[in-house]
Chain A
Amino acid sequence: MKINRRHFLALGMGATAGTLLSPLPWKLTDDASIWTQNWAWTPVPETGEYLYTGGACTLCPGGCNLAVRKVGERVVKIEGQADSPVNTGDLCGVGLSAAQLLYGPSRIEGPMAREGKRGEGKWKRLTWEEAEAQLAKKLNSLSDGKGVAALSAFRSGSVSALIQRLLDTLGSDRFLTLPSLHDSLEQAMALTMGRAPGEGVGFDTENTDLILSLGSSVAEGWGSPVRMVKAAGAKKMIQVEPYLSTTASMADMWVPAKPGTEGVFALSVAAAMVQEKLYDHIFVSTATEGFPAFSAWLLENYTPKKAEAVTGVPPAMVKKVAVAFAGARRPVALCGRGKGETPVSLAEALAVFALNALKGSVQRDGGLVKVGALPYAVAVAESEAMGEKLATLTEKGKTELLLDWGTNPFYTLATSKKAAEALASIGTIVSFSPYMDETAAMADLILPDHTHLEKMQDVPVRAGLERSTVTLTQAAIAPVMDTKHTGEVLISVGAQLDGGRDAFSWDDYESYLEESCGEMWESLSENGLWQGDIAWKKGLERILGTSQRFTFVIPEGPVALPAEGSASSHPLTLVPSWSLRISSGAVADAPFTMKTIEDRVLTEGVSHVELHPSTARKAGLAQGDTATLATPFGSAKVRVTLFEGVMPGVVALAAGLGHTAFDGFIGGKGTSYTALSGTMVDSATGFNCTWGARASLAKG
C-alpha cells in the first residue's frame, strides 16, 4: 500500500482525536500545575483567630488611631480605628504599611556601636547595659554641656520631657524639634491673638464651607492626612500653587501663582476685600485693633494690580477669589506649602491670619482657632530661638554630640551638600531610631527604640486639629528585635549622669508615663485618646460667637522669600510635588507603599522631574530623556516627564524619595528634593522656609 497525503492526514486526525479522548491532556495540565507550583518554600501562614488591639501611628504628625489586627502573636494588618475622632476608621498608605516596617529588613537588631569609619556600616553589637553605660560615660566626659544638642520627634510629651531634662542636667538648652509650619503659625498667633505657652493653632475644617489653601497639599498630606483628604473630597476649595497637584485639580478654582508668592497673593486678596469693602465690618470694627494702619499698608503695597508683578495672577482672578472668600459663610484660609513640613515666613503667616480675620474666621466654627495647651504634669519648656539653634546644627564645629530621637536629620535637615557635611562633622552622633535610617547609618552609637507597634507611649498631636489631642501607642506584640523604649533608656542613662540621680528618680518609664500625662492619663489609658475642650465654644464665646480680640500686624520681614542664585546660571525654578504615597518625613516608605509610586515619578531607581512641554522644548529635552538637575545646593540625575499642568519655567520633583540608608526596597531610589532645596532664612524667625530653589536642567 502506498502511503499518500490522504492517509497521512487521516492518521494525524485519528491521533488527535485519540489523544483528546484519552485522559492524557488532563493529566498533563494537572501535572503542569503541580510541577510549576509545589515548592516547599511557599509559606503557609499559621492560622488563628483575629485579635484587634488599639494603637496610634507616629509615622507623621497626623495622630491617627490604629486598629492592629493580630493572628496569634503576629501583626498581620494595620487598619484605622473606626471610632477615632481623628481618622474615623481610615488610614493612609504609609500608616497601613507599618507592619512591613515592623518586620522589615530596615530594623536594627539591637544596641550597636560604630566600628570602622563613620557611615561604613560596620557595627559591634552591645548589650543594653554596655550601650547605656557608654552613652552615660560619653555625656559625663564632655567638657561643656552646651555642645550637646538633641532632636526630638515631638515638641511636647513624656519622652521629650525626659530628653529636655537630660539636656538640663548637662547644662544645654538645645532641645530641638524638626521645624514645621506650626512654628510660624504659633509666632503669628502670639502677635495677633496672644498666646500662652503650649497653645497651638488649629483649623476647624469640618465646619468650614470653603478652604482657601495657599499652597497646602490638602489632599496629599497636609495636617492630619486622613482628616484633610476627607475635607478635600467634601469641601469647596481654592488652591494657590504653580503646579497642578491633586488638590489643585480637585479644587473648584486653581490659581497658579508664581512659586513662593502664595503669601503675597493672600495679601492681594485681603487688599481686594478692603478695596471692595467685602470684609466682615462687624467683626473688624468690634473685635480687632490696628485695622486702619493695616488696611492703608495693604492698599499702598498689595493691591491686586501691584501684586500681579510678583505673583503673576491677574487682578480679575484675585477679585474673583476675594468675592468667593468673602461670600462664603464660614471660609478658612490655610497656609504651609506641601505637607506643612517647612515653616513659612512670619510675614506670610501674618498675612494668612489677617485674611481670616477680615472675614471674621477666627475663633469660631469653621475658622482658624486657638488650640489649648496640653496639660502635661511633666511639661516641656518651649525653646527660645529655635530657628537659630536649628541653623547651628548645620554649621561646622558647633555641636559636639547630637542625640536623635525619630527626626532623621541626615535626611530631613540636610538641605545642601554643605549642610550634610556639617552634620557629618559632629563629634558624636547617637541615634534612637528603630530603623536603619540615614542618621542611624552615620551614628556612633545606636540605642534602637521600639516601633510604635511595640511600645506604649503618648503621642501629642500637632497637626492643625481644632482641639488639643493626645493619642497613645500600644504594644500590640512583644518587641521583634532587641530594642528598648527610649523613655526607659533616658531614665537609666539620666540617673547615671553626674547630678542626675534625683532628676531621673522614676523606677521605670511606665510609672513615669502615668505621672507625666497627669489628668490626661485616665482617658488615654482607657480610650487611647485624650482631647481637650473646644476652646472657642466655652462660656461667653459660645454666646457671643467670639470674644477673641485680634490685632492686625504689619509684617516687617519679606512676605515672599527670594531664591538664591542667578537667573543666568539657573533659569528654572525647582518646586517639590507631594503625594500621600511617599512619606516625606523621617521614616521612609515600606515596600507596599513603594508599590504605589507611579512610574511617571520613579523608574529604575531614578526620579522623574515634571515640566511643561514648552519648558522642555526650550531646554532641548523630550519625554523620557535623562538630564542633570542642578541647584546652587547640589545636583542629581533625573528623567524627564512632560506634564501640561506645570507652570512654564518650573520643574517639579517628588519630595520624599532619594533615601540612601534603609534597605534595598526603599534605599537608593530616586533623588532627595530636600538635598537640593537649600536654605531661605526668614529673618523674623530664623527658620529655613525654603519653598524651592533656582535650578537648571541639562540633557545627559
Chain B
Amino acid sequence: MNTESNETRAKKFGMVIDLDKCTGCGSCMVACSAENNIPVRKDESDKLLSITWIRVYRITNGKDFPDTEICYFPRPCQHCGGKHDDGHSPCVSVCPATATDYDHSTGIVSQIYTRCFGCRYCMAACPYHARYFNWWDPVWPAKLEESLSPDVSPRMRGVVEKCSFCFHRYQLARDKAYQEERDVEEMEYQTACTQACPSGAITFGDLNNPDHAVYTLKKDKRAFRLLERLHTNPKVYYLSEREWVRRAGDNYLSNEEPTGAPGAYELKGKGGH
C-alpha cells in the first residue's frame, strides 16, 4: 500500500489529450514555440527541418465521401518511462552523452543542450518523432531576438531538442512553493500548450496524485496511448469515443482486435519485446 503523502511521493507528470475536443487549431504549437524560443525558418513547410516540439498531426478514417472523418493528434514528447516505468525510455537508453535523462522525481525526460553533441541516436530511437535536430544556428530576423524568453536557453547548431513539459515552469513553481514551505499546486504548474488550448482538450498534472484531474482521466475507458505495444510507457494519454481513432493509436493490423480494457488499452497475447 502506498502510504506516502502527496508531498513526498515521487511525481509523475503527464498529459491527457481529449481528441474529440481538439479542433486542430494549432494554438498549442504556437504557444509552445513562443514559450520555448523555438527557432523559425523561412520555409516552414519542409517538415523534416521545421521544429515543433508539439506537432498536431491529422488522420482520416480512410472512408469515402461522405463517410469520411478526420481527427487531429497533438503530439508532444511522450516522456516515456520505459518498459517497467523505470526510466529506460528509448532515447535515454541510447544517449552516449547523458544529454537526455529520466528524472525519477518528476518522470520528465530532460534534454541538456550543452551536453548533446548531435549524434542523433535518440532521434532514431524515438518511435514518436518527437525529437528535432538543429542543422543550423537559429537566425532571429529583424528584432525578433527581443521576444526570446530568458527561461529557456536558445539552442545552437548541432544539438537535438524536444518538448520538456515546460520544465522551467515547474522550476519556477517549485521554487516558489519551497519558499512558502508547501507543495506545488495542480494549477501552478501547467504547460504552455495546456494553458493555450481554446477547446480545453489538454489536461496536465501529476499522474500519481489522486487529486489531479489527469489521475482520473487516464483511467477513462476512452483512454489509450500511442504505440502502446512497444512498452514505452508514455505519459501522454489520449481520449476518444471513436474506435477508429483508438485503433490508429497503435497501428493495429486489420485482423487484430484491440482489447476494450480500461486505461492501458493493451493488446492481449504477444506484442512488444
A residues lining the B interface (CB < 8 Å): 29, 32-33, 36-39, 41-48, 71, 74-80, 87, 89-94, 96-97, 99-100, 102-105, 107, 219-220, 225-226, 229-230, 232-234, 244, 246, 249-250, 254, 256, 480, 579-581, 591-600, 602-605, 612, 643-648, 663-665, 669
**Within B53-106, which residues are at the interface with A (CB < 8 Å)?**
56, 58, 60, 62-66, 68-72, 96-97, 99
- A340–B183 Cα distance when bound, in Å, is 47
Residue contact A37 to B140, C-beta cutoff 8 Å: no
B147 interface neighbour in A37, A74, A254, A599, Cβ under 8 Å: A74
A-contacting residues, B172-223, CB 8 Å? 195-201
Q: What are 26 A-to-B residue pairs whose CB atoms are below 8 Å? A: A33-B114, A36-B157, A43-B154, A44-B154, A45-B149, A76-B149, A77-B34, A90-B196, A90-B197, A96-B31, A100-B34, A104-B142, A105-B141, A105-B142, A229-B25, A229-B198, A230-B198, A256-B66, A580-B23, A580-B25, A594-B44, A595-B38, A599-B46, A643-B60, A644-B64, A645-B68
Structural contact, B147 and A581, CB atoms closer than 8 A: no
Binds A, one of B2-10, B115-123, B260-268: B115-123
Closest A residue, CB atoms, query B98: A29
Question: Measured between alpha carbons, how far is A41 from B155 in the docked complex, in Å?
Answer: 11
In the complex, are the beta carbons of A93 and B40 less than 8 A apart? no
Is A36 a contact of B118 with CB atoms below 8 Å? Answer: yes
Asked if B60 and A36 sit within 8 Å, CB to CB, the answer is: no
Cβ–Cβ < 8 Å partners of A249 in chain B: 68-71
- Whether A48 contacts B199 by the Cβ 8 Å rule is no
Whether a CB of chain A sits under 8 angstroms from the CB of B164 is: no
Are A220 and B25 in contact, CB atoms less than 8 angstroms apart?
A: yes
For residue B45, CB closer than 8 A to chain A, the reply is yes
- A591 surroundings in chain B (CB, below 8 A): 40, 44, 144
Please, which residue of chain B has its CB at the minimum distance from the CB of A582?
B26
| Chain B interface, number of residues (Cβ within 8 angstroms) | 74
| B122-160 interface code vs A (CB 8 A; 1 in, 0 out) | 000000000000000100111111111110011111110
- Say yes or no: A598 contacts B58, CB within 8 Å: yes
Known: A37-B156, A76-B149, A580-B26. A612 touches B65 (CB 8 A): yes
Docked pose: A502 CA to B38 CA in angstroms: 52
The 5 A-B pairs at the shortest CB distance, nearest first, are namely A36-B158, A596-B26, A233-B199, A93-B30, A645-B68
Least CB distance from B70 to A in Å reads 4
> In chain B, what residue has the closest Cβ to A598?
B58
Contact call A102/B52, Cβ cutoff below 8 A: no
- Are A581's CB and B26's CB within 8 A? yes
Q: Taking the complex as formed, is B240 at the interface, i.e. its CB lies under 8 A from any CB of chain A?
A: no
Q: Answer yes or no: B270 CB below 8 A from chain A CBs.
A: no
Q: Which of chain A's residues have a CB closer than 8 A to the CB of B145?
A: 43, 45, 103
Taking a contact as CB atoms under 8 Å apart, the answer to whether B46 and A232 are in contact is no
Residue of A nearest to B142 (CB): A105
Please give, as numbers and ranges, the residues of chain A lying within 8 Å of B40 by CB-CB distance: 100, 591-592, 594-595, 665
Instruction: Check if B23 sits within 8 Å of A45, measured CB to CB.
Output: no
Q: Give chain B nearest CB distance to A400 CB in angstroms.
A: 35
**B29 within 8 A of partner (CB):** yes
Of B22, B64, B144, B154, the residue contacting A100 (CB under 8 A) is B144
Q: Report if B21 contacts A (CB, 8 A).
A: yes
Cβ 8 A contact of B37, one of A45, A87, A645? A45
Note all chain A residues with C-beta closer than 8 A to B273.
none
User: CA separation between A249 and B23, bound complex, in Å?
Assistant: 9
Known A93-B30, A596-B56: A29·B23 in contact at CB below 8 Å: no
* Chain B residues near A42 (CB-CB < 8 A): 137, 154-156
Task: Report B's interface with A, CB cutoff 8 A.
Answer: 20-27, 29-31, 33-35, 37-38, 40, 42-47, 50-52, 56, 58, 60, 62-66, 68-72, 96-97, 99, 113-118, 137, 140-150, 153-159, 195-201
A647 B65 Cβ-Cβ under 8 A: yes
Contact flag A39-B137 (CB < 8 Å), given A74-B146, A105-B142, A644-B63: yes
Contact of A229 among B23, B99, B142, B158 (CB under 8 A): B23
Structural contact, A646 and B44, CB atoms closer than 8 A: no
- Name the residue among A232, A234, A604, A645 with the largest chain B CB count within 10 angstroms: A645
* CB-nearest residue of chain B to A221: B25
Bound Cα distance from A267 to B157, whole angstroms: 60
In whole Å, how far is B183's beta carbon from the nearest beta carbon of chain A? Answer: 22
Q: Which residues on A sit within 8 Å (CB–CB) of B156? A: 36-39, 42
A604 to B45, CA, bound (A): 6
- Bound complex: CA A233 to CA B65 (Å): 23
User: Given A45-B37, A246-B70, A480 and B147 touching (CB < 8 A)?
Assistant: no
Determine the distance from Cα of A99 to Cα of B154 in the docked complex, in whole angstroms: 17
- Contacting pair A644 B68 (CB below 8 A): yes
Chain A residues near B140 (CB, 8 Å)?
Answer: 43
Determine whether the beta carbon of B97 is less than 8 Å from that of A592. no
Q: Please give, as numbers and ranges, the residues of chain B lying within 8 Å of A102 by CB-CB distance.
A: 147
B143–A480 touching, CB < 8 Å: yes
Contact of B65 among A256, A592, A602 (CB under 8 A): A256
Asked if residues A29 and B117 are in contact (CB atoms below 8 Å), the reply is yes
Name the CB-closest residue of B to A256.
Answer: B66
Known contacts A29-B97, A233-B201, A645-B70, A593 near B26 by CB under 8 Å: yes
Residues of B within 8 A of A103 (CB): 142-147
Known A42-B156, A46-B150, A595-B52; 9 more pairs at CB < 8 Å? A36-B158, A100-B40, A102-B147, A103-B146, A107-B142, A107-B143, A250-B20, A579-B24, A596-B29
Tell me, rounded to whole Å, the shortest Cβ–Cβ distance linking A653 to chain B: 16
Nearest chain A residue, comparing its CB with the CB of B99: A33
Chain A residues, CB < 8 A from B52: 595-596
B25 touches A219 (CB 8 A): yes
- Is B34 touching A36 in the complex (CB atoms < 8 A)? no
Picked from B24, B141, B158, B196, the residue with its CB within 8 Å of the CB of A663 is B141
Tell me, rounded to whole Å, the shortest Cβ–Cβ distance linking B216 to chain A: 19
Contacts of A104 in B (CB 8 A): 141-144
Given the known interface contacts A36-B118, A99-B34, A645-B70, the answer about A45 and B27 at a Cβ–Cβ threshold of 8 Å is: no
**Is the pair A37, B114 in contact by a Cβ cutoff of 8 Å?**
yes
Minimum Cβ distance to chain A for residue B225 (Å):
22
* B149 and A77 contact, CB distance less than 8 A: yes
| Cross-chain contact of B23 among A47, A220, A645 (Cβ < 8 A) | A220
Q: Is the CB of B116 within 8 A of A33?
A: yes
B180 shortest CB reach to chain A, Å: 17
Which A residues lie within 8 Å of B70 (CB)? 244, 246, 249, 645
Q: A664 — which chain B residues lie within 8 A by C-beta?
A: 42, 141
How many angstroms between the C-alpha atoms of A599 and B114 in the bound complex? 32
**Residue pair B27, A92 in contact (C-beta under 8 Å):** yes
Q: Specify which of B146, B155, B198 is in contact with A90 (CB 8 Å cutoff).
A: B198
**A136: min CB distance to chain B, Å:** 31
A33 to B117: give the CA distance in the assembly, Å. 4
Chain A residues with CB under 8 Å of B155's CB are 42
B172 to chain A, nearest CB (A): 9
Which chain B residues border A219 with CB–CB below 8 Å?
23, 25
How far is A244 from B59 in the complex, measured between Cα atoms in Å?
13
The CA of A559 and the CA of B215, in the complex, are separated in Å by: 52
- Decide: A665 and B141 in contact? CB cutoff 8 A: yes
Query: Are the CB atoms of B26 and A32 closer together than 8 Å?
Result: no
B contact residues around A90 at 8 Å (CB): 27, 195-198
A233 to B20, CA, bound (A): 7
Q: Do A230 and B200 touch across chains, with their CB atoms under 8 A apart?
A: yes
> Closest B-chain residue to A668, C-beta based?
B42
In contact, A233 and B200 (Cβ under 8 angstroms): yes
Task: Please name all residues of chain A whose beta carbon is closer than 8 Å to the beta carbon of B26 when the two chains form the complex.
Answer: 93, 579-581, 593, 596
Q: Which residues of A are found within 8 Å of B146, using beta-carbon distances? A: 74-75, 103, 480
Contacts of A45 in B (CB 8 A): 37, 145, 148-150, 154
Q: Is the CB of A36 within 8 A of B159?
A: yes
Q: How far is the CA of A94 from the CA of B144 in the complex (A)?
A: 16
